[in-house]
Amino acid sequence: MAAVRWHPSPNFGPRRDGLEPSLVVIHHTAMDGAQAALERLCDPGAEVSAHYLIGADGTIWHLVEERMRAWHAGAGEWHGQGDINSRSIGIELDNRGDHPFSEPLMRALETLLRGIMARWNIDPRRVIGHSDMAPGRKHDPGARFDWVRLSRIGLALQPQPAPETPPDPIRFRQLARRAGFTAPCTDAALLAAVRLRLRPWGRGALCPADMAAVQGAATRPPA
């Protein structure tokens, strides 16, 4: 992995209410190249930032100190908790959202995540996507992001096996809330967000495979 480059952004402030990082939120930049994203994340007029940016070649830029509050998440909620910026570390990935994430980028992300999670004692279940906490409003890191790869090495939620059951929108929402998807949203937005995280190939109306996927995410692994 390439060395981490310190490239400070002016867009940050103190974490509120004495909060410390308990989440990691993963984004994609949706821009043409890391340099364009770096400029935007460090532009005072843009009023956006993240703690880290990872380029397609694996370069990591450190933009905001982890103990400070970066401006990356916006309005949203996870497991009933708001002010995600004060609760999280934000990582931007150099990707437009319509193509696979490069191997150097993924390797760098894995190394970065291991360090962050160890420093702040963050459980793999609390490594989330922007779309998880803001269904319908955000869709990153998108359908091409390899959550399965992270889960296999203990860096993200590993859903438990669950049986397929008949589609039930009320039960689906209950299970999604138990899994963490508590931000207010429509049924369609919730289904889209859950699929982005758990089965991005899913299409059409709520189906038994969706029920199994969300139940697997809501089920705690055995001790």
Positive or negative torsion for Cα 129, 54, 57, 152 = negative
Report the DSSP pairing between strands 52-54 and 60-62. Answer: antiparallel
What b/e readout covers 117-152, taking b as 16+ CB neighbours within 10 angstroms?
beebebebbbbbbbbbbbbeebbbbbbebebeebbe
The one catalytic residue in 20, 77, 92, 110 is 92
C-alpha to C-alpha distance for 51 and 47, rounded to whole angstroms? 14
C-alpha to C-alpha distance for 21 and 12, rounded to whole angstroms? 14
CB neighbours (10 Å) of residue 222? 5
C-alpha to C-alpha distance for 129 and 69, rounded to whole angstroms? 18
- Find out whether 109 and 1 touch, Cβ atoms under 8 Å: no
Nearest to 218 by CA among 169, 166, 161: 161
Active site residue 103: no
- Find out whether 132 and 88 touch, Cβ atoms under 8 Å: no
CA-CA-CA-CA dihedral for 165, 171, 172, 173, to nearest 10: 180
Catalytic residues: 92
